Structures are given as C-alpha cells and as structure tokens.
Amino acid sequence: MGIGPDGVLWVLDPQARSVDRFGPDGKLLPPLPLPSRGFGSILFEAGGTILLGEHLAGAAGPFAGEGKAVRLAAGGALLESFDTEFNGGVGGFLGVTHIALSTDGKTLFHVSETGPELYAHDLAGNSRLGSIYTRTDPPPMLFGLAALPDGRLAVATGTAIRLLWPDGAPLGDIALPQGRGWANLVVSPNGKALLALDFFGGRMAELALPDLALVSVVDFGNPQGMTTVAEVG
C-alpha cells in the first residue's frame, strides 16, 4: 500500500494479483493496464515513475511468480523489468517482498521476508549488487524495510529495528515494545517519524526521526492483521 504524489492510494494484493487505486475522495479509480504479477510493495520515484516489487516467486500454483521488480510509467505502462535477487524466505516462494530506495535514487534495496538476506540492485545498470547484509543471530529472518531520510537503512527483525549503513554495515538495534510481530516499517510523509507495525499484536509504534526515540504506541485491536499503513499528509 502506498500514496502517490497525486494523493492516489494504491492497494496491492499479491495473491489475487490485483492493484486497486483510490482517489483522494475515497472513490475507486478505473484499473490501469498493469502487468499481471503478484505485486506487494510500491515506491514512487521523483520523476513520476513507479517501482513495484513482485512479492511471489514460486515455481507454480497460487504462489507462482518471478520475484522481479519493475518500473512503470505514471499511467501504468511497463518501462523496465529488473532481474532482482531473492531467496524465497522460509516458505521458498517469496520474492521481492519489501523495497527501499537509496537517497540518490540509484539503488534499490530489497528483502524476501523471513529470509536472512538484504539485497541491493543497481537500477541504472539493471545489475545485482548481491547481498549487502546477512542476519546470523537467531532467528535469522528479516522483514519490513525502510530507507531513512539521512540515508540509513532500517529493517524489522520481528522484535526490534536493525539499523544499517547503505553498504550493509550494521549500526545496532532499536528496541521496540515487547512482542515478536514487528514486521514492517514505514517512513511518514514528512520524514519526521518511522512507523513500526506489529502484525501479531495489531499495534503501531511511532518513533521520532532521526534519533528513533519512541513517541507512542497505538493498539488498533486488529491482531494478525497489521501488515502495512499509509499516512496522508
């Protein structure tokens, strides 16, 4: 899920292979001629183009996919397909589940949720830069990913936020409220906060940027359903 610069909300369902768009007034917009892929993550580039990550990478069946990232024109036309690396996660069928863009817009960072690797991809040359970080402490899993305004990367580990430099060098962990479902990270539109989402507990933690001090925790009463959030304004 993501909100574009025009205020349009994009809602992605990778298993249904659907992308729905809603205008600022909440009305469903006509579908765009998008590629039929299981997209699950989205970013809006400065020039008006759109990056989408293909969530699925299974060989066949309902989880079939190629685990690629693509660039679309604002109108939905396919401009480029990127041969992104993936590891399948613990289930073996997850591709590019979470994406983040470097501050200069040249490098795409991505993970296969529940896998241990954080990858980088050179967008201009469409070339894999390989794994820049591998989690080895138990459990060796990475989840949601965000690029902070100062260039640092933040990745959810289930219980905390792990901070990294863009080259993958670790900076340490930021503690989160007790729980093991902290699985996604979203930077607020004004760049002043990082929102951490607790899938199992149905909670959202707000952390101030750049120091990542905990500001508040909101319980939405939606256990096993807090996957992502999009903030307006």
Percent of the chain with pLDDT over 70: 100
Residue 16 has a pLDDT of: 92
Examine the domain organization and report whether 59 and 100 are in the same domain.
yes
Domain boundary residue, one of 88, 111, 142: 142
Examine the domain organization and report whether 167 and 138 are in the same domain.
no
Residue 142 has a pLDDT of: 98
Residue 70 has a pLDDT of: 97
What CATH number corresponds to the domain at position 119?
A: 2.130.10.10
Examine the domain organization and report whether 104 and 165 are in the same domain.
no
Examine the domain organization and report whether 23 and 124 are in the same domain.
yes
Domain boundary residue, one of 142, 159, 186: 142
Does residue 198 surpass a pLDDT of 70? yes
Examine the domain organization and report whether 186 and 122 are in the same domain.
no
Examine the domain organization and report whether 129 and 164 are in the same domain.
no
Backbone angles phi, psi at 13, to 5 degrees: -125, 100
Residue 233 has a pLDDT of: 64
Report the mean per-residue pLDDT for the chain: 96
What CATH number corresponds to the domain at position 183?
A: 2.40.128.630
Task: Give the residue from 220, 227, 171 showing the smallest Cα distance to 199.
Answer: 227
Query: Which DSSP string corresponds to the chain?
Result: -EE-TTSPEEEEETTTTEEEEE-TTSPBPPPP---SS-EEEEEE-TTS-EEEEE-B-BSSGGGB----EEEE-TTS-EEEEE-----BTTTT-B-S-EEEE-TTS-EEEEE-TTSSEEEEEETTTTEEEEEEEE--SSS-----EEE-TTS-EEEE-BSEEEEE-TTS-EEEEEE-SS-S-EEEEEE-TTSSEEEEEETTTTEEEEEETTT--EEEEEE-S-TT---------
Examine the domain organization and report whether 136 and 165 are in the same domain.
no
Band the pLDDT of 121: cuts 50, 70, 90: very high
Residue 231 has a pLDDT of: 83
Does residue 225 surpass a pLDDT of 90? no
Domain count, the chain: 2
Examine the domain organization and report whether 128 and 197 are in the same domain.
no
Residue 167 has a pLDDT of: 97
The gap from C-alpha 131 to its chain's centroid, in whole angstroms, comes to 17
Instruction: Give residue 124's domain range.
Output: 1-142
Examine the domain organization and report whether 15 and 45 are in the same domain.
yes
Domain boundary residue, one of 127, 142, 157: 142
Does residue 128 surpass a pLDDT of 90? yes
Percent of the chain with pLDDT over 90: 94
Examine the domain organization and report whether 119 and 155 are in the same domain.
no
- At 134-144, the pLDDT tens digits run 999 999 999 99
Examine the domain organization and report whether 123 and 225 are in the same domain.
no
Examine the domain organization and report whether 107 and 179 are in the same domain.
no
- At 14-45, the pLDDT tens digits run 999 999 999 999 999 999 989 889 999 999 99
